[in-house]
C-alpha cells in the first residue's frame, strides 16, 4: 500500500511538472545596436566612400591649382539600389565628410540648407524691417557653383534560404556648369550574412 | 470522506479557481505568452500617453514599448498598418522604420535564435521577424508610404526588397519573389522617375507570376492618384502535426475578387487584386525551422513514451515487491523522462501580423484638378456589386501634381 501511495505521488508530480514556468525575458531597447546586423548600406559606408572621394577631389588639378577655392553644389544622393536609405541624412553626411577632408580647397554651396531663409531675409531687408549692419539693403545675390557633385547608390542584392548578400556601388561625379564630366570615382561595398535556421 | 467534507473541498476548489482566474486576468501577457512585469507595462503606458499615441494604436504601442525585441517587430508591423488606416502616416513610417532594421538583422549565431532551437524553448520565444510574406508586406507598405512622399527612389528600393524577402522552400513548386503588387509599385516608381524601360520590365515579370489573381491595369506616368484597397482578413497561422510542431495557414475566403472605381457613374477602372497574401503565405513550402521543430516533436514523443514504459515498470516492480531499489531507480528514470517530455516545447510559433488584409488592390487613376467624388465598388465572384465606399478626393491644381495615395478597406 505504501508503495502504491509512492507511485501515485510520483504520478501526481509528473502532472505537476507538465506546466513549466515560462522563461524570463530580458528587456532591452529595441533601437540599440544588436550583436548582429543586416547587409544594407549604412551611414559609415557613405562616410568612408565620401572620405576617399574628398581626398581624390582635392588632388584634381582643376581644384588644386584653382586661384580661389571652387564652389561645389552637392546634389542630393540618389538611390537606385534595393535598399531604402535616408538620402537626406546621407547627403548631410557626405557634405560633412567632404568639409572635414577638403578644408580650404573647395567651398560648398548649401542651397538646400539656407536658400529659403536667405530669401525671406532678403524680403525683410527690402521692406526695411531689418537692416544689415545698420545700412540699407542693396539686394541679395546668391552664390552660384562651379561644379556639381553627384552621388548615386546602385546595387545588386540577392537572397537565398541561407542568407543575404548586398553589393553596393557608390558612384560620385563632379560635373561643371557646361555638363562636362570632370571626375568620376566609384566605391564598392559588399556585405554578406547568414540567417539562422530558425528563421528560414 | 463525508458529504460535508466533499462539500467543503468543492467550496475551497471553487474559491481557488476564482482566485487564480482573478489573478490571471490582472496580468499582462506578451505576444509570446510571457508575463510582462507591471513596471514595464506602466512605463510603456506612460510613454504612450506622453507621445500622444492615438487610441487605436495604444495597445500595440504599449506592447512595442514593453515586450522588448522578442515582439517589437510584430507590434511595429501591426501598429504601422493601423496607423496607415487612420491616416497617421507619420506614425506608420516611424513604426515600419523601427521594424525594418530588426527584420534585416541576420541572426546566425545569435544567442536568442540559438536558444529558440533548444528542445526546451518554444519557437515563439525567438525575436519575431515574421514569415517571408510578412517581411515582404512590411517592405511593400513602406514602399507605398515612400510613393506618397514622392520619394520614388526609396519606394523602388522597398518594392525590390519586398521581392527579396519573398523566399520559398526548395519543395515549393512556385518560384520565390512573385509579389505582383511589388512589381506594380516598382513600375509606378520607375515611371515617375522617367524610366519606362524599368517599368516595362517589372510589369513583364509580374505578368508571368503564378500568384496573379487576374487583370489589373498597369500604372501610367501621368497618374495622380493611387487607390490602395485592402480587402478581407490576412492569413491565419495554426498549429498542426503530432505535437503542434507544424505550421498551417487557414483562410477566410475573399468575397470581393474584383474592385471597380466610378465617378458620376462612369467607370474609371476595374481591377483584380494585385496581391493575395493568403496565396503568398500558403505557398511558402518547407522551412528549415520545420525540421528543427520536427526534431523537438520526436524528442517529446520519445521522452513521453520512455516515461510511460519506465513508470509502468516502476509501479509493477513496486507492487510485486521484487526490489525497492529497482522500483526507485525505474521511478527516477521515468520521472526524468517525463520531466524532459513535459518540458519540451515543440509547438510552432503562430504569432502573426494579424491585421494584414487577405488581398490588396492597386488602382492608379488620373483625375482632373478639383473635387472628385469617387465610388469604389467591391464586386463578388459573379461580378455583382457586393460592397461600396464613396470618398471625396481633391486633386491639386498645380501642373505637376504630386501622386496622392488613398487607402480604403473592405
pLDDT in tens, B284-323: 888 888 888 888 888 887 887 777 777 777 777 777 777 7
pLDDT tops 60 at residue A134: no
Q: Report pLDDT digits (tens) over A107-125.
A: 888 777 777 787 888 888 7
Q: Kindly report the CA angle at B163 between A46 and B86, in degrees rounded to 5?
A: 90
Q: Report pLDDT digits (tens) over B334-381.
A: 787 777 777 888 889 999 999 999 999 999 999 999 999 999 999 999
Q: Is residue B51 part of a domain?
A: yes
- Tell me which of B367 and B324 has the higher pLDDT: B367
Beta bridge partners of B272: B258
Residues of B in contact with A20 (CB under 8 A): 342-343
Q: Is residue B10 part of a domain?
A: no
> Which residue from B275, B236, B272, B267 is spatially nearest to B256, judged by alpha carbons?
B272
Stretch A150-155: mean pLDDT, rounded?
Answer: 93
Q: Is residue B80 part of a domain?
A: yes
Q: Which long-range contacts (CB under 8 A, 24 or more apart) does B331-336 make?
A: B331/A6, B331/A7, B331/A10, B333/B306, B334/A10, B334/B306, B334/B307, B334/B308, B334/B309, B334/B310, B335/A10, B335/A13, B335/A14, B335/B307
CATH class of A40-127+143-194: alpha beta
Say if the Cβ atoms of B106 and A36 lie within 8 Å.
Answer: yes
- Tell me which of B351 and B21 has the higher pLDDT: B351
Stretch A80-93: mean pLDDT, rounded?
Answer: 86
Residues of B in contact with A163 (CB under 8 A): 106, 108
How would you class B354 by CB atoms within 10 Å of its CB: exposed for 0-12, middle for 13-18, buried for 19 or more?
middle
| pLDDT attached to residue A138 | 58
**Looking at the 3D structure of chain B, how many domains does it have?**
1
How close, in Å, is residue A82 to chain B by CA atoms? 4
Of the listed ranges A28-37, A56-65, B41-50, the one predicted with least confidence: A28-37
Stretch B153-161: mean pLDDT, rounded?
Answer: 96
Does residue A135 belong to the interface with chain B, where contact is any CB pair within 8 Å?
no
Percent of chain B past pLDDT 90, that is, above it, reads 66
Cβ atoms within 10 Å of A194's Cβ, excluding its own: 15
| pLDDT attached to residue A126 | 80
pLDDT tops 80 at residue A9: no
Stretch B8-36: mean pLDDT, rounded?
Answer: 64
**Between residues 275 and 294 of chain B, which touch chain A (CB distance below 8 Å)?**
287-289, 291-292
Q: Report pLDDT digits (tens) over B226-284.
A: 999 999 999 999 999 988 999 999 999 999 999 999 999 999 999 999 999 999 999 98
Q: CB–CB of B108/A193 below 8 Å?
A: yes
Of the listed ranges A66-75, B139-148, B350-359, the one predicted with least confidence: A66-75
B45 grid coordinates:
503606458
Residues B89 and B145: their CA atoms lie apart, in Å, by 7
Does residue A80 belong to the interface with chain B, where contact is any CB pair within 8 Å?
yes
For chain B, give the mean pLDDT: 89
Best mutation target among B38, B107, B192, B307 (most A Cβ atoms within 10 Å) is B107
Beta bridge partners of B66: none
> Which residue from B91, B90, B172, B92 is spatially nearest to B131, judged by alpha carbons?
B172
Q: Is residue B178 part of a domain?
A: no
Stretch A93-102: mean pLDDT, rounded?
Answer: 82
Percent of chain B past pLDDT 70, that is, above it, reads 93
Domain that holds residue B50: 30-91
How do the domains of chain A map onto residue ranges?
40-127+143-194
pLDDT tops 80 at residue A22: no
How close, in Å, is residue A121 to chain B by CA atoms? 27
For residue B307, give the chain A residue with the closest CA.
A14
The pLDDT confidence band at residue A132, using thresholds 50, 70 and 90, is: low
| pLDDT attached to residue B150 | 96
| pLDDT attached to residue A176 | 92
Of the listed ranges A14-28, B88-102, B229-243, B301-315, the one predicted with least confidence: A14-28
| pLDDT attached to residue A28 | 52
Say if the Cβ atoms of B161 and A4 lie within 8 Å.
Answer: no
| pLDDT attached to residue B332 | 79
Amino acid at each position: 500500500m505504501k508503495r502504491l501511495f509512492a507511485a501515485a505521488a510520483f504520478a501526481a508530480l509528473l502532472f505537476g511538472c507538465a506546466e513549466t514556468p515560462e522563461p524570463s525575458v530580458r528587456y532591452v531597447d529595441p533601437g540599440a545596436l544588436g550583436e548582429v546586423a543586416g547587409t544594407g548600406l549604412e551611414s559609415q559606408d557613405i562616410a568612408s566612400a565620401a572620405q576617399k572621394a574628398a581626398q581624390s577631389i582635392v588632388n584634381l588639378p582643376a581644384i588644386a591649382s584653382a586661384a580661389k577655392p571652387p564652389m561645389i553644389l552637392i546634389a542630393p544622393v540618389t538611390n537606385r539600389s534595393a535598399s531604402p536609405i535616408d538620402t537626406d541624412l546621407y547627403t548631410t553626411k557626405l557634405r560633412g565628410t567632404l568639409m572635414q577632408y577638403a578644408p580650404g580647397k573647395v567651398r560648398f554651396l548649401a542651397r538646400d540648407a539656407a536658400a529659403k531663409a536667405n530669401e525671406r531675409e532678403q524680403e525683410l531687408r527690402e521692406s526695411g524691417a531689418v537692416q544689415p549692419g545698420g545700412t540699407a539693403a542693396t539686394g541679395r545675390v546668391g552664390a552660384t557653383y562651379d561644379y556639381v557633385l553627384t552621388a548615386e547608390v546602385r546595387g545588386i542584392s540577392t537572397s537565398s534560404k541561407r542568407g543575404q548578400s548586398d553589393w553596393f556601388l557608390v558612384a560620385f561625379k563632379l560635373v561643371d556648369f557646361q555638363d562636362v564630366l570632370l571626375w568620376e570615382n566609384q566605391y564598392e561595398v559588399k556585405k554578406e550574412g547568414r540567417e539562422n535556421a530558425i528563421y528560414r | 470522506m463525508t458529504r460535508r467534507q466533499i462539500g467543503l473541498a468543492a467550496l475551497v476548489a471553487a474559491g481557488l479557481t476564482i482566485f487564480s482566474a482573478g489573478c490571471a486576468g490582472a496580468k499582462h501577457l506578451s505576444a509570446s505568452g510571457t508575463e510582462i512585469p507591471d513596471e514595464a507595462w506602466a512605463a510603456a503606458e506612460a510613454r504612450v500617453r506622453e507621445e500622444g499615441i492615438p487610441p487605436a494604436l495604444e495597445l500595440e504601442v504599449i506592447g512595442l514599448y514593453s515586450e522588448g525585441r522578442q515582439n517589437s517587430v510584430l507590434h511595429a508591423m501591426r501598429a504601422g498598418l493601423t496607423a496607415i488606416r487612420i491616416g497617421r502616416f507619420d506614425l506608420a513610417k516611424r513604426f515600419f522604420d523601427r521594424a525594418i532594421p530588426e527584420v534585416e538583422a541576420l541572426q546566425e549565431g545569435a544567442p536568442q535564435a540559438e536558444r529558440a532551437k533548444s528542445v526546451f524553448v518554444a519557437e515563439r520565444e525567438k525575436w519575431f521577424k515574421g514569415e517571408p510574406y510578412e517581411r515582404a508586406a512590411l517592405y511593400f507598405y513602406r514602399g507605398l508610404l515612400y510613393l506618397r512622399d514622392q520619394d520614388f527612389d526609396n519606394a523602388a528600393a522597398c518594392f525590390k526588397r519586398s521581392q527579396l524577402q519573398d523566399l520559398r522552400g526548395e519543395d515549393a513548386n512556385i518560384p520565390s519573389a512573385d509579389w505582383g503588387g511589388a512589381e506594380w509599385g516598382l513600375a509606378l516608381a520607375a515611371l515617375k522617375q522617367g524610366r519606362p524601360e524599368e517599368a516595362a520590365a517589372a510589369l513583364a515579370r509580374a505578368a508571368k507570376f503564378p500568384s496573379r489573381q487576374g487583370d489589373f491595369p498597369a500604372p501610367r506616368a501621368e497618374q495622380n492618384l493611387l487607390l490602395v484597397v485592402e480587402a478581407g482578413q490576412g492569413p491565419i497561422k495554426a498549429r498542426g502535426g503530432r505535437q503542434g510542431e507544424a505550421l498551417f495557414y487557414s483562410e477566410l475566403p475573399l468575397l470581393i475578387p474584383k474592385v471597380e472605381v466610378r465617378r458620376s457613374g462612369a467607370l474609371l477602372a476595374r481591377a483584380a487584386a494585385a496581391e493575395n497574401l493568403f496565396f503568398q503565405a500558403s505557398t511558402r513550402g518547407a522551412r528549415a525551422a520545420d525540421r528543427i521543430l520536427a526534431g523537438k516533436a520526436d524528442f517529446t514523443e520519445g521522452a513521453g513514451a520512455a516515461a510511460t514504459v519506465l513508470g509502468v515498470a516502476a509501479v509493477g516492480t513496486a507492487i510485486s515487491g521484487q526490489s525497492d531499489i529497482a522500483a526507485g531507480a525505474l521511478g527516477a528514470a521515468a520521472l526524468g523522462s517525463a520531466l524532459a517530455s513535459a518540458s519540451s516545447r515543440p509547438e510552432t510559433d503562430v504569432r502573426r501580423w494579424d491585421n494584414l488584409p487577405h488581398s490588396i488592390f492597386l488602382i492608379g487613376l488620373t483625375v482632373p484638378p478639383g473635387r472628385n467624388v469617387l465610388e469604389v465598388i467591391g464586386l463578388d465572384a459573379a461580378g455583382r456589386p457586393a460592397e461600396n465606399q464613396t470618398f471625396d478626393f481633391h486633386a491639386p491644381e498645380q501642373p505637376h501634381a504630386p501622386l496622392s495615395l488613398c487607402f480604403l478597406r473592405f
